[in-house]
Structure 1
Amino acid sequence: MANSKYEYVKSFEVEGEVMPPNLIVVHIDRRDFRRFSEVHEFEKPDDEKALNLMNQCAMAVLEEYPDIVFSYGYGDEYSFVLKKTSKFYQRRSSKISSVIVSFFTSVYVTKWKEFFPLKELRYPPSFLSQIVCCASLEILQAYLAWRQRDCHVQNQYNTCFWELVKKGGKTEMEAQEILKYAKEQDRNELLHQQFGINYNGTLALFRQGTCIFKTEVEDIVKYNEDGTPVKRLRRKAGIFRSENIAGRRFWNAHASLLKELGNFSEDCFKTNPDYIRSFLFESKLMPSTWIVIRIDGCHFHRFADVHEFNKPNDKQALGLMNLCAEAVLEEFHDIVFCYGVSDEYSFVLKKDSQLYQRRASKIVSAIVSFFSSMYVMKWKDVFRKKELKYPPSFDGRAVCYLSNEILQDYLAWRQVDCHINNQYNTCFWSLVKSGKSKSEAQNYLKGTQAREKNELLLKEFGINYNTLPLMFRQGSSIFRVKRENPTLLENDASSVEKTETKIVTEHCNIIEQSFWEAHPSILD
């Protein structure tokens, strides 16, 4: 990032490192799953296709991030366990949590048509994520036992509930009342006696949830000239199920789990959810401060190369980022301003925001996940002739700023960075396209000042930097504006002023105070 007088704002960033030897678990679950399942008409009580889609997303996460060695999921949630020696993102909680939920979301949207070929994805799905710090293997064992117990209890209840509604002729209110005080045995008897269902005979996918982890398997890598296969052992993610995933019999039977995490010395029969919840890595952001959520594309140099983005700026790619940011602003009403450049975006939440009770992980993951979802969904609208070759991902962080002045300095820092990087990249790619190697271009530009870069562009390539598109030089600012719209009253010649709010995207100078004076409502 560029050096400038505004760079002091970086001192407000706090790195939430999960200290070793804590085991890191990333727990994700869908935002407003009930509405999503109703809108997309998922089968009740369990939709096998929807669950298998979740499993495929988890499988992709394990393949993408080698530090994840075990995952468990059911319903609309998944837990990912990192190996005990992990240095992934230097164990920074926000980075780990956000990048995993982002990638999971992107895969979910990408694979939707594989599982629901005849069903349109009607709106962007998104997920929440948070870190669980397991101080010992015994706590991880208790955590897994808790999640599987929750899977069983929820599934048994939902199976009873929907049988009563769909086959028993009960209203949802009546079904709730019948099950209000029913114990586990009561629910089993209800299913068996009234509906002829042996609960223990229902699909293990529904009752037990799904474990995914890597084991060594023989894989054919090539064939000899005579047609005989050449096999090698390789680690490959697979799906496993068990009545008790926290039991010694299941866990200790798998060498990969023993190696990366350790062995369970005893079985876990009882869990205390409140005790386990105490290990949630959760921080509430300082009250009465501006919250900025900054998201960045992960490995976007490679992503841009693979998808053949124009250098130094791809107007369509930037337009896609802006579309996603506009959608985020529309989805989250507490966001008052967005600023984006290249593969990053900053979202400013109002000072008195109580979104997710100001819990950092929830806010960051919700915004990152929704942005990722929109990026994949809108890809074909922007790149009509270009295939999305693999799911993108973004990471995010939350930073608090105490005053309007510091917030404005933060945004000024990002815009200065936009200008410096764009000027450098314009010179760099002009040199490369003229025949220089990337190394030669870097050496040529080393130590050059802004004036020298402008002269290089003008004299060598006929480019007046100051006439390049504003979006490239100043980035994109997205915010709401209020406009008074006269509306005629029915049966009356008079009119009333009706205030309308509109989302606008501008490419303007936000460093100068004149911008904020022209839009005082943003920081009100």
Structure 2
Amino acid sequence: MANSKYEYVKSFETEDEVMYPNLIVLRIDGRNFARFSEANEFEKPNDERALNLMNCCATSVLEKYPDIILAYGFSDEYSFIFKKETKFYQRRASKILSLIVSFFTSLYVAKWREFFPREEIRFTPSFKSRIICCPSVEVLQAYLAWRQRECHSKNQYNTCFWMLVKSGKSEIEAHDILKGTQKQEKNEILFQQFSINYKNLPSMYRQGSCILKTEVDENVKIPDNESPVKRLRKMVKIVHSENIASRSFWNDYSYLCKELGCFEQNVNNIKHEYLKLFQSENKLLPFTWIVIRIDGSHFHRFSDVQGFEKPNDELALKLMNASAVAVLEEFNDIVFAYGVSDEYSFILKKNTELYQRRASEIVSAVVSFFSSTYVIKWKEFFPKKELKYPPNFDGRAVCYPSYEIIRDYLAWRQVDCHINNQYNTCFWMLVKSGKSTREAQSLLKGTQAQEKNQMLSQLFGIDYNTLPVIFRNGSSVFWDKVISLSSSGQEMMVTDNGVVAKSHKKVVVEHPNIIEDDFWGAHPLILEVMAMQTKEGDLRFLLQHEDKQLGKEYIMNFSLDSRISVASPLPNMSLTYYVNALSHHVCGGVSTLSFLTMKLTITTTPAFHPDLTGRAPWS
């Protein structure tokens, strides 16, 4: 990674290692899967094809990652258990949860056609994930028992519910009938009204699916006249068992005991409140900008296998950009994104309460949705290229406390873009001219920017500054106002949320210089609040308020010593803001700047009704 004066921002990154000897459990849950299953018309209460797709993806995860020993899943969730001694990504929680959920999601989209050959996938699927730290094998045993009991209780309820609905009851009536019923009563409803013996339903529905690794003997081929030699080979298999947390089940698979530990006794009373104590919450600091940075995992290999153009494949970059656009459209709290090569940084607004600011859920949801979109949109950009294998990404969340630091973070990424792209352009031009990769690296070792520019100009006739700006500056993705024009070039009134306006918001992709102030001056509201020092003792702010009821925006310019009265068609409406500003103090001839956060409450008045497209007055 390139060195620059902005690298200090890395000091805000925190470690999230899962300490040994905790057993690591990664749980994946479908995100908005009720809507997804409805959009894709899954069979109720269980769609066997959908469950087999989940099982297939989980099996591929175990086959790819040797450190995952066991997985258990039902409906739209799966739990993956790592071996006790794992050093997978140095046991960093964010790396583990993002990498696995990304790969699982990519597999889900890529394998869709195998299980739904006649149906196009509707609605982008995505998942959330979290880490559960099990300090002992007994806690793991209790966790597995809890999840399997959840499988049973939910499936029994859903089976009754959907049979009642299919018999003519409304969903409200079905809920009322089942409210407060116990296990035996549900079984009686199924048997007496629908002649269904619950115990005869497919075991995959009632018990969930357990995917595990086991060891089998394998004969090694040897020359003639010698005795065969056997060796152990690991094999992944799917089983359905009534109690995966029982001693008998565990003892049947010695490899589980070897890698995870043995169960001393069976478990009976499971309190899920107790087990929730072991879930890693890691809430992010309030009133800080959250950056979710995702990076392609082993993308050098992926780009080689897919035959991407070197040093830059414009279509591959545009696919990354299209995926980032989809992320901004999906998550309203993301206000800006910057991407280069196989990485993207997504910035959430300071006051976001997305997933109650839980790092694991935010990171996994963004990474999963990005991965899903990348695979879905592949054919749009590479219609003649087969996706050889599903890509995956890892992610992390970092908090930045001030406007200046978040600007420096983005500057750091763009400086890296420039330095790396300049090097890669020189490197691949040398390789294409006949140099070996080692010779190209040797020629470029220790060279400065000017020397690389001269090399490109003198050897290859390339002016670096004329290369496509997407390569040199990276891509910035953000919401912007777009003016609609008629065919004659005149402004055309458009309808936005039922309100007539001259412009509408749209996610755009541009390639500006985000290190300098020009871009941010032209788009002051991307990072919510801009503080401007005017004179000693006086602060002025530019603040945006979006009126949810009217679908319009008001922009207010005010100073700290002002009595603020905002005109609004909705009088006596209380608006609360958390304002971030730079405060200027002079003491003993020494000028000091400090950062502060203030709570500001504004009450609207009925005195004046402004033009909805104009600026609201202030006094």
5 Å-filtered alignment, 1:466-505, equals 466-483=465-482, 497-505=501-509
Instruction: Name the residue aligned to 2:525.
Output: 521
Gaps of 5+ in 2: 485-490, 529-619
| Aligned AA (2:418) | H
Change (3 A) 1:360 1:496: closer
| Cα RMSD for the two superposed structures | 1.9
Instruction: Name the residue aligned to 1:304.
Output: 303
Change (3 A) 1:223 1:159: farther
Cα distance between partner residues in 2 of 1:217 and 1:197: 39
- CA distances 1:388-422 after superposition (whole Å, capped 9, x unpaired): 00010000000111011100100000000000000
Contact 1:484 1:497 in 2 (8 A): no
Instruction: Name the residue aligned to 2:390.
Output: 391
Instruction: Name the residue aligned to 2:20.
Output: 20
Matched, 1:108 2:108: yes
Choose between structure 1 and 2 for higher RCO, CA contacts under 8 A separated by at least 6 residues.
1
Quote the offset at 1:234 in angstroms: 2.0
| Aligned AA (2:153) | V
Instruction: Name the residue aligned to 2:581.
Output: none
Q: Which has the higher helix share?
A: 1
Change (3 A) 1:106 1:230: farther
- CA distances 1:189-228 after superposition (whole Å, capped 9, x unpaired): 1111111111111100000000101112356888999xxx
Cα distance between partner residues in 2 of 1:2 and 1:221: 49
- CA distances 1:161-188 after superposition (whole Å, capped 9, x unpaired): 1111112x21111111111010011111
Instruction: Name the residue aligned to 2:49.
Output: 49
5 Å-filtered alignment, 1:89-488, equals 89-167=89-167, 169-217=168-216, 233-483=232-482
Change (3 A) 1:220 1:386: farther
Matched, 1:510 2:514: yes
Cα distance between partner residues in 2 of 1:233 and 1:514: 64
- Bigger shift: residues 497-506 or 51-60: 497-506
Instruction: Name the residue aligned to 2:6.
Output: 6
Contact 1:487 1:496 in 2 (8 A): no
| Aligned AA (2:173) | E
Instruction: Name the residue aligned to 2:83.
Output: 83
Cα distance between partner residues in 2 of 1:391 and 1:15: 28
- Bigger shift: residues 425-434 or 18-27: 425-434
Could you say what secondary structure the match of 2:515 adopts? Answer: coil
Quote the offset at 1:521 in angstroms: 1.6
Contact 1:424 1:453 in 2 (8 A): yes
- CA distances 1:423-446 after superposition (whole Å, capped 9, x unpaired): 110111111111111111111111
Quote the offset at 1:140 in angstroms: 0.4
Instruction: Name the residue aligned to 2:40.
Output: 40
Change (3 A) 1:220 1:192: farther
- CA distances 1:29-83 after superposition (whole Å, capped 9, x unpaired): 1001111111111011111100000000000110111110000000000000000
- CA distances 1:472-507 after superposition (whole Å, capped 9, x unpaired): 1100001111245555699xxxx9644410111111
Instruction: Name the residue aligned to 1:65.
Output: 65
| Aligned AA (2:9) | V
Quote the offset at 1:241 in angstroms: 1.4
| Aligned AA (1:516) | W
Cα distance between partner residues in 2 of 1:76 and 1:497: 42
- CA distances 1:321-369 after superposition (whole Å, capped 9, x unpaired): 0010011011111111010000000001111111111110101000000
Task: Provide the TM-score with structure 1 as the length reference.
Answer: 0.96
Change (3 A) 1:488 1:355: closer
Cα distance between partner residues in 2 of 1:165 and 1:344: 47
Cα distance between partner residues in 2 of 1:327 and 1:374: 7
Cα distance between partner residues in 2 of 1:375 and 1:32: 19
Cα distance between partner residues in 2 of 1:122 and 1:175: 28
Contact 1:337 1:479 in 2 (8 A): yes
**How many aligned residue pairs are there?**
516
Change (3 A) 1:480 1:180: same
| Aligned AA (1:503) | V
Contact 1:222 1:231 in 2 (8 A): no
| Aligned AA (2:4) | S
Could you say what secondary structure the match of 1:234 adopts? Answer: strand
Cα distance between partner residues in 1 of 2:148 and 2:41: 26
Contact 1:106 1:373 in 2 (8 A): yes
Gaps of 5+ in 1: none
Quote the offset at 1:270 in angstroms: 1.5
Contact 2:39 2:123 in 1 (8 A): no
Contact 1:428 1:445 in 2 (8 A): yes
Task: Provide the TM-score with structure 2 as the length reference.
Answer: 0.81
| Aligned AA (1:315) | E
Give percent identity, aligned residues only. 66
| Aligned AA (2:103) | F
User: Which protein has the larger Cα radius of gyration, Structure 1 or Structure 2?
Assistant: 2
Cα distance between partner residues in 2 of 1:370 and 1:217: 38
- CA distances 1:374-393 after superposition (whole Å, capped 9, x unpaired): 11011111011111000100
Quote the offset at 1:232 in angstroms: 6.4
